[in-house]
A and B are shown apart, each in its own frame.
Chain A
Amino acid sequence: MKDSPLEAVIGLEVHVQLDTGRKLFCADSTAFGAPSNTAVCPVCLGLPGALPVLDPGAVDLALRAALALDCTIHPVSVFARKNYFYPDLPKGYQISQFERPLATRGAVELDGGRRVRIRRVHMEEDAGKSLHDRFASATAVDLNRTGTPLIEVVSEPDLRSPREARSYLQLLKRLMEYLEISDCNMEEGSLRVDANVSLRKRGSERLEASTEVKNLNSFSAVEKALGVEIRRQTRIRAEGRAVTRQTLLWDAAGGDVRVMRDKEDSQDYRYFPDPDLPPLVLSAARVASLRAGLGELPRAKRERFRRQYELPAYDADVLTSSRGLADYYEAVVACGGQPKTVSNWVMGPVLETVKRGIADLSSPGLAPGRLAELLVLVDKGTLSATAAKTVLAGMARTGDPPGAIVQREGLRQVREDQVLDRWVTDAVAAHPEAVARYRAGETRLFGFLMGQVMRASGRKADPRRVSQLLRAALDADAD
């Protein structure tokens, strides 16, 4: 595309499941994986006479998202009915926001500094699931998903490449996860993406016919599918034909898009305000308190981490991926940990311990003060890195403070020269052949001798000092 006279114009429509644990208009659970048609009630089944009642918790999460995306929040928004027949749509309409959405006109900034405008953020309920592979000759319907709370985040067509679309999506996901709005689990459908794609002459502002690509259920699918679709449209234009407005389905297995339907015969959804739901009226106080509750957003936090703690970009990125992790990191540093040491340990052994399910960041064994205490011992050289890992594992398992574990297991690093000297002398004496070859120029044998000393010390010797003493011993006797 770089040298092409054409450029891609991409906009994403992203559905994000709100992590309220319950449905938008009734109290059924939205836990993933419940047996089919068990998380249902008269309301989400659309039984005659049942009525929807809006969950204020979902509104709060949607508002947090809209605020984080720098949107204008509308004091009055309206739920509308989107009417269409489908077996997994029990009421014959989906409750969504149409003419008067919750929020409009936001923006985010991508890493390269490019600004992507957000057209709107609105709330809606999910439909059920049609299962085409459960029975041989029939479609099964699972209504557990029906009524799951979603927001749809619609971007302006400001993205210019598949890679950019991917970064935008990553940024969005990170924000939603960080603010605990959604778990953004793409496999479980908590984050779903449709893309609108068209091509136009570079620099032109004209809107060309676009296609919509659906079924993009991973980051790489987004990038790949957009690449395929852009090449397809480029080919069509090169042949002098016009791109037609179509809805396409990404086939991940075949690596291609196929036509789902022509947009020209698109349905008339007959939207109208849902008379069962009064307009959603938001007080300025409610919006202000949610705005205040957002705190520092990930992007600002990452910049601050780089500056304040002098961390590399990668570290700052990982540490600010969730609010919990970022807070933990800062607490450990506040307890006296050296920022870069703390970063290495938090990203490495600590997260590893959490991932293995041995402990979590709120376990007493991993309390920020305890970890700081441990890392101070490392920085002072009292503990070797290896020993410290053993101590950390002990802390996570038992909840004991590091000092007690070091004492109990005798893990203190040996740094006293007279003790180290004895181990070095013993090693040199025990391996005369290796010593001779080293002195003859085979310097790589230094590592072998180093290992002998460390083993003799039970891995407690301070490796830096051992290395100095060993080198001195080998070089001195050579004269």
Chain B
Amino acid sequence: MKVNAGGVAESAAEVRDGSLAWGSMAAQALEAHGTWERGAVPLNAFIAVDANADRQRGPRDGPLAGIPVAVKDNLATADFPTTCGSRILEKFRSPYEATAVRRLRGAGAVIVGKTNMDEFGMGSSTENSAFGPTRNPWRAERVPGGSSGGSAAAVAAGIVPVAVGSDTGGSVRQPASFCGVVGIKPTYGRVSRYGLVAFASSLDQVGALGRNVRDTATLLEVLSGHDPRDATSANRPVPPLAPACERGVRGLVVGVPREYFPAGLDPVVRRLAEHALGALEGAGAELREVSLPHTRYAIPAYYIIAPAEASSNLARYDGVRFGHRCREADTTERLYELSRSEGFGTEVKRRILLGTYALSAGYYDAYYGRAQEARAAVAGDFERTFGDGVDVLFTPTAPTPAFKLGERVHDPYQMYLSDVFTVTANLAGVPAMSVPIGLAEGLPVGGQLMAAHWREDTLLTAAAALEAELGTVGSPPVPSGAEAA
């Protein structure tokens, strides 16, 4: 399949010079999507697909000319519903488009569909979707990770070469790790959040997923840049990212934080991570053991701050102006109560309650206040480490490979722990990415790279080197018996 052949930049160049027809890659994406949906266990990577995506029009001269892209369903689009994986927004259609989506269209991308996700981004397995879970393309009984599980699965399944996700505590990197693809969460402020439906505003960041490091870099460059509609978007130049992928790691100082290699770490994950470190060293990088001592406060701080912000961000879903409205309510109070009870899923309700509690008078200082202190301490760890000459940190992305569907869904704490290595970058606002570093019994495992603010280029340099040294993990087999259907 052409879609799976050359890189995104090369394919776009072929569309620009006319050697590749505009809609041909989108048509292949639709075909691949159909194949996966007709498999024994449908992939369910998409909440909505444009069956006529190959006929979408767009500028031919952009860096993503004719490239089919999947977009997470929490980015506002005018031509698809924007559900956030929630019943409460099931029929919601945004009258405006997210800045990230407009940038995609401006670059010539063809948006083939909106991908499945944990409701409002709350989850690590895409099981918390009102529209059914997404499957891991590598093995159907496994989760694809989350919350951007649909985007990661769509890339891993070869439906699209690149996809847009969002990352609040690891929601791009952890599914990238579980699905064997590349995923990057840029520096907070690098990509506009305008039109990204808020989960936790101080942590949310739009991210890019791709089959390989270069494709991911190409997408990230399109998404990045200042947006006057987002007061937290940084007004600073975006350096060209392609050259960073070619730079090589000779002389690069790679920090290995001991807190990310705990005693209980899955032995296969540890072995693959150590192998990846060896590869970096072999390529000329200098390894240095470092300590980020406040890492253990990250999960507790994150699970106060994110729910607190969410409890406020999700107040607007009240049944008054848009979204699900309970028709039986006879008073305003009942309207709120019933619309929200019916519209939100269990995990969302749990976090709204947690966050509401954490912000309550009398508890604010003990919870929210303390969590902000912990956040500052975590950020201080990174600042000190990068200030001491470390260029990039390497850690496992997640403590385990993809777990089974249903395995953690009733144990929120276990579920939360799958973000233990990823939430720190969100708390500190630094860029981080996940690259495949091998297979553990047929399931992909990712390694995480983290760099100082605005140094996405350093991440890409290290990621490209790892990719070159380790090779790719390949693609999962297309479902058998479905191709003929």
On A, residues with C-beta under 8 Å from B are 42, 45-54, 81, 83, 85, 87, 90-93, 139, 141, 268, 270-272, 275-278
What is the count of residue pairs linking A and B with beta-carbon distances less than 8 angstroms?
101
Q: Which residues of B335-380 are within 8 A (CB) of A?
A: 336, 356, 359-361, 364, 368
Is B228 an interface position by the 8 A CB rule? yes
Report which residue of A47, A141, A268 has the largest number of chain B beta carbons within 10 angstroms of its beta carbon: A47
Tell me if A278 and B76 are in contact (CB < 8 A): no
What are 20 A-B interface contacts by the 8 Å CB criterion?
A: A47-B94, A47-B322, A48-B92, A48-B316, A49-B75, A49-B196, A49-B198, A53-B228, A54-B231, A83-B311, A85-B318, A90-B321, A91-B315, A92-B314, A92-B315, A271-B359, A272-B309, A272-B359, A272-B368, A275-B202
Give Cα A47 to B229, complex, Å. 14
Tell me if B94 and A53 are in contact (CB < 8 A): no
- B residues in contact with A92, CB < 8 Å: 312, 314-316, 318
- B320's contact among A54, A87, A270, A272, by CB below 8 Å, is which? A87
- B residues in contact with A47, CB < 8 Å: 76, 94-96, 322
- A270's contact among B201, B316, B318, B359, by CB below 8 Å, is which? B359
Report which residue of A50, A91, A271, A277 has the largest number of chain B beta carbons within 10 angstroms of its beta carbon: A50
- A residues in contact with B318, CB < 8 Å: 85, 87, 92
Give Cα A85 to B315, complex, Å. 7
Nearest-neighbor residue (CB-CB) of A269 within chain B: B361
CB proximity of A41 to chain B, nearest CB, Å: 8
Nearest-neighbor residue (CB-CB) of A54 within chain B: B231
CB proximity of A256 to chain B, nearest CB, Å: 27
- B residues in contact with A276, CB < 8 Å: 198, 201, 231-232
Give Cα A83 to B356, complex, Å. 10
Report which residue of A49, A50, A83, A90 has the largest number of chain B beta carbons within 10 angstroms of its beta carbon: A49
Known A83-B312, A91-B315; contact A53-B230, beta-carbon cutoff 8 A: yes
Known A90-B321, A275-B202; contact A48-B194, beta-carbon cutoff 8 A: no
Q: Which residues of B356-408 are within 8 A (CB) of A?
A: 356, 359-361, 364, 368
Give Cα A45 to B82, complex, Å. 16
Report which residue of B315, B364, B368 has the largest number of chain A beta carbons within 10 angstroms of its beta carbon: B315
Is B308 an interface position by the 8 A CB rule? yes
Is B299 an interface position by the 8 A CB rule? no
- B residues in contact with A52, CB < 8 Å: 231
Nearest-neighbor residue (CB-CB) of A272 within chain B: B359
Tell me if A83 and B315 are in contact (CB < 8 A): yes
Q: Is the interface of A mostly helix, strand, loop or mixed?
A: loop
Nearest-neighbor residue (CB-CB) of B97 within chain A: A49
Contact mask for chain B residues 187-211; partner A; CB cutoff 8 A; 1 contact, 0 none: 0000001111110111000000000
Tell me if A49 and B320 are in contact (CB < 8 A): no
Q: Is the interface of B mostly helix, strand, loop or mixed?
A: loop
Tell me if A48 and B332 are in contact (CB < 8 A): no
Known A45-B321, A275-B201; contact A91-B316, beta-carbon cutoff 8 A: yes
Tell me if B96 and A278 are in contact (CB < 8 A): no
Give Cα A317 to B368, complex, Å. 52
- A residues in contact with B193, CB < 8 Å: 49, 51
Tell me if B312 and A51 are in contact (CB < 8 A): no
CB proximity of A100 to chain B, nearest CB, Å: 14
CB proximity of A401 to chain B, nearest CB, Å: 51
Is B98 an interface position by the 8 A CB rule? yes
Nearest-neighbor residue (CB-CB) of B337 within chain A: A85
- B residues in contact with A53, CB < 8 Å: 228-231
Nearest-neighbor residue (CB-CB) of A83 within chain B: B312
Known A48-B94, A91-B315; contact A277-B231, beta-carbon cutoff 8 A: yes
- B residues in contact with A54, CB < 8 Å: 231
Tell me if A270 and B312 are in contact (CB < 8 A): yes
Report which residue of A47, A48, A271, A275 has the largest number of chain B beta carbons within 10 angstroms of its beta carbon: A48
Is B84 an interface position by the 8 A CB rule? yes
Counting from the closest, the 4 A-B pairs by CB-CB distance are A92-B315, A275-B202, A275-B201, A270-B359
- B residues in contact with A46, CB < 8 Å: 316, 321
- A residues in contact with B364, CB < 8 Å: 270, 272
CB proximity of A478 to chain B, nearest CB, Å: 90
- B197's contact among A48, A81, A83, A268, by CB below 8 Å, is which? A48
CB proximity of B342 to chain A, nearest CB, Å: 16
Give Cα A87 to B311, complex, Å. 17
- B315's contact among A49, A50, A93, A275, by CB below 8 Å, is which? A93
Tell me if A49 and B359 are in contact (CB < 8 A): no
- A residues in contact with B94, CB < 8 Å: 42, 47-49
- B residues in contact with A271, CB < 8 Å: 359
- A residues in contact with B92, CB < 8 Å: 48
Nearest-neighbor residue (CB-CB) of A91 within chain B: B316
Tell me if B312 and A272 are in contact (CB < 8 A): yes
- A residues in contact with B202, CB < 8 Å: 275
Tell me if A48 and B336 are in contact (CB < 8 A): no
CB proximity of A379 to chain B, nearest CB, Å: 59
CB proximity of A143 to chain B, nearest CB, Å: 8
Tell me if B360 and A268 are in contact (CB < 8 A): yes
Give Cα A105 to B426, complex, Å. 38
Nearest-neighbor residue (CB-CB) of A93 within chain B: B312
Give Cα A48 to B364, complex, Å. 26
- B residues in contact with A48, CB < 8 Å: 76, 82, 84, 89, 92, 94, 197-198, 316
- A residues in contact with B96, CB < 8 Å: 42, 47, 50
- A residues in contact with B308, CB < 8 Å: 272
CB proximity of A145 to chain B, nearest CB, Å: 15
Give Cα A39 to B426, complex, Å. 36
- A residues in contact with B332, CB < 8 Å: 87, 139
- A residues in contact with B322, CB < 8 Å: 47
- A residues in contact with B194, CB < 8 Å: 49-51
Give Cα A278 to B364, complex, Å. 20
- A residues in contact with B356, CB < 8 Å: 270
Excluding A49-B193, A272-B359, 19 further A-B contacts by CB distance (< 8 Å) are A46-B321, A47-B94, A48-B198, A48-B316, A49-B194, A49-B196, A49-B198, A50-B96, A50-B194, A52-B231, A54-B231, A83-B311, A85-B315, A87-B318, A91-B316, A92-B316, A270-B364, A271-B359, A272-B308
Give Cα A277 to B356, complex, Å. 20
Nearest-neighbor residue (CB-CB) of B228 within chain A: A53
- A residues in contact with B232, CB < 8 Å: 51, 275-278
Known A83-B315, A276-B201; contact A51-B231, beta-carbon cutoff 8 A: yes
Known A49-B98, A49-B196, A268-B361; contact A141-B229, beta-carbon cutoff 8 A: no
Contact mask for chain B residues 201-225; partner A; CB cutoff 8 A; 1 contact, 0 none: 1100000000000000000000000
- A90's contact among B76, B95, B200, B316, by CB below 8 Å, is which? B316
Tell me if A85 and B336 are in contact (CB < 8 A): yes
Give Cα A437 to B197, complex, Å. 96
Give Cα A51 to B195, complex, Å. 8
- B residues in contact with A275, CB < 8 Å: 200-202, 232, 309
Nearest-neighbor residue (CB-CB) of A52 within chain B: B231
CB proximity of A90 to chain B, nearest CB, Å: 6
Give Cα A92 to B75, complex, Å. 21
- B residues in contact with A270, CB < 8 Å: 311-312, 356, 359-361, 364
- B residues in contact with A87, CB < 8 Å: 318, 320, 332
CB proximity of A459 to chain B, nearest CB, Å: 66
CB proximity of B104 to chain A, nearest CB, Å: 15
Nearest-neighbor residue (CB-CB) of B308 within chain A: A272
CB proximity of B80 to chain A, nearest CB, Å: 13
CB proximity of A93 to chain B, nearest CB, Å: 6
- B residues in contact with A90, CB < 8 Å: 316, 320-321
Nearest-neighbor residue (CB-CB) of A82 within chain B: B312
Nearest-neighbor residue (CB-CB) of B323 within chain A: A48
CB proximity of B213 to chain A, nearest CB, Å: 29
CB proximity of B326 to chain A, nearest CB, Å: 15
Give Cα A139 to B335, complex, Å. 13
Known A92-B318, A277-B231; contact A49-B95, beta-carbon cutoff 8 A: no
